[in-house]
Amino acid sequence: MYIGALTVDILLGDVRSLKQKRSAVRPIVAEVQRRFPGVAVAETGHLELHRRAEIGIAVVSATAANCGAVLDDCERLIAFRPEIEVLSARRRLYNEDED
């Protein structure tokens, strides 16, 4: 069993309040959930900043290759949105044999 984690740090476009930020981030999270129902996704960081957001995604898979492919697809889905800029994407892969 493999557990993959992806953290995407994004810069939002013309956002001037936390309310506007929520209305920009919520559709991104919802689209990832809709397209990939087997993953867990949430806004995980920069909660108090207006123009920055961090989205965390986790997936469990039988193979490392499938885990990586799903995370690639999720990252691509987020990165191709025109209203945001991806600042960084960090990925970790955990194996059940690791302590």
Phi, psi of 94 (to 5 degrees): -110, 145
Q: Which domains, ranges and CATH numbers included, belong to the chain?
A: 2-93 (3.30.70.1120)
pLDDT at 10 over 90: yes
The rounded mean pLDDT for the chain is 92
- The confidence score (pLDDT) of residue 97 equals 75
E strands, 1-99, in order: 2-12, 40-45, 52-61, 84-95
pLDDT of 78 above 70 = yes
Considering only residues 47 and 59, tell me which one the structure prediction assigns the higher pLDDT.
Answer: 59
